[in-house]
Amino acid sequence: MRPVKTLLSVLFLLLLTLPAAAQKGEGPLDSSPPKGITPDGIIQKFAAKETEFKSARDNYTYRQSIKIETPEDGGRFEQTWDVLFDDQGRRVENVVFAPQSSLQLVQMSREDFEDIRNVLPFVLTSAEIPLYDINYVGRQQEDELSTYVFDVHPKQMQPGKRYFDGRLWVDDHDFQIVKTKGRTVPEFRAGGGRGTKKVKAGQENLFPAFTTWREQVDEHYWFPTYTRADDTLHFSTGDVRIRETIKYENYKRFGSKVRITYEGQELPKAPQDKGGNGQSK
């Protein structure tokens, strides 16, 4: 996000009611080593599941909505779009709601929109494992799930690339990521520092800390369903508080010939409807 005189960006209005997955919170952290498996073994298992999940999610349609608010002045940005397939099976986005932005203190940057689509619903596949330092933290109860907890930091940031820097929770039964908490990097800050790139005062682009929750879809994969952020961004020109929410809804299998597998087994094909989409969760 960037200050208003140049470019500032922010994310979403806090919903009045959080989803069930976000209400119960985290239990105490047990930092003892995992039993019956090594941390590296857990990483390899969940990375393989993430690889399957990423491929599967690319064959679902869904609706994504964002709300961004600056409480100091009542500024707001909203947008809703459907992720669909055209008649040739190509993935497309159809914006269905986009009122005029009233943000004054900040404005959305290219990095914000890229993060909304690719980093906030963070996926860590086997191919992306070498890009990160991944450290085992312990075990923790998350809602009704028993999870392994890892801290994740990018090893080296390449120009033009966006990364996740934070913590993730992995279900100890399905070995799938069920929650992520952190921020997107690099930031662009006048003073520079870890995880940032140095820019001139007034040209900063900062990003709020966020949490993304996943829920199980079609009894197999854990898909992102809700992201929340409420953070204060410290620009050289002054502090700006940002509140944001993102919702991912109405996941439906696309009724195509594409095979979707889970643990090596092909999942049942999606029922056909008039729109060519499968059945909702």
- Cα gap 89→263, rounded to integer Å: 25
The burial of 28, by beta-carbon neighbours within 10 Å (0-12 exposed, 13-18 middle, 19 or more buried), is given as exposed
**Cross-strand partners of 139:** 30, 148
pTM recorded for the entire structure: 0.84
- How far CA 200 is from CA of 104, 114, 121, in Å, comes to 21, 22, 30
The reported pLDDT for the residue numbered 25 is 77
Q: Name residue 152's beta-bridge partners.
A: 134, 166
At 208 the pLDDT is 98
Amino acid at 46: F
Backbone angles phi, psi at 128, to 5 degrees: -95, -10
Distance CA 219, CA 260 (A): 13
Measure the CA–CA gap between 163 and 161, rounded to whole angstroms: 7
**281 residues of the chain, pLDDT tens digit each:** 776 543 333 333 333 445 544 556 799 999 999 999 999 999 999 999 999 999 999 999 999 999 999 999 999 999 999 999 999 889 999 999 999 999 999 999 999 999 999 999 999 999 999 999 999 999 999 989 999 999 999 999 999 999 999 999 999 999 999 999 999 999 998 877 767 788 887 789 999 999 999 999 988 899 999 999 999 999 988 999 999 999 999 999 987 555 666 676 776 666 554 433 333 33
Quick one: DSSP state of residue 82? Answer: E
Q: Which of 20, 40, 34, 247 is nearest to 134 (CA)?
A: 40
Q: State whether residue 19 is helix, strand or coil.
A: coil
pLDDT at 133: 98
Segments in the chain forming alpha helices (H): 39-57, 110-118
In the chain, helix, strand, coil percent, each to 5? 15, 45, 40
CA geometry: angle 66, 224, 115, nearest 5 deg? 50
Chain centroid offset of residue 218 CA = 20
pLDDT at 24: 60
Counting Cβ atoms within 10 Å, is residue 224 exposed (0-12), middle (13-18) or buried (19+)? buried
Are the C-beta atoms of residues 183 and 165 closer than 8 Å to each other?
yes
The answer to whether the CB of 75 falls within 8 A of the CB of 69 is: yes
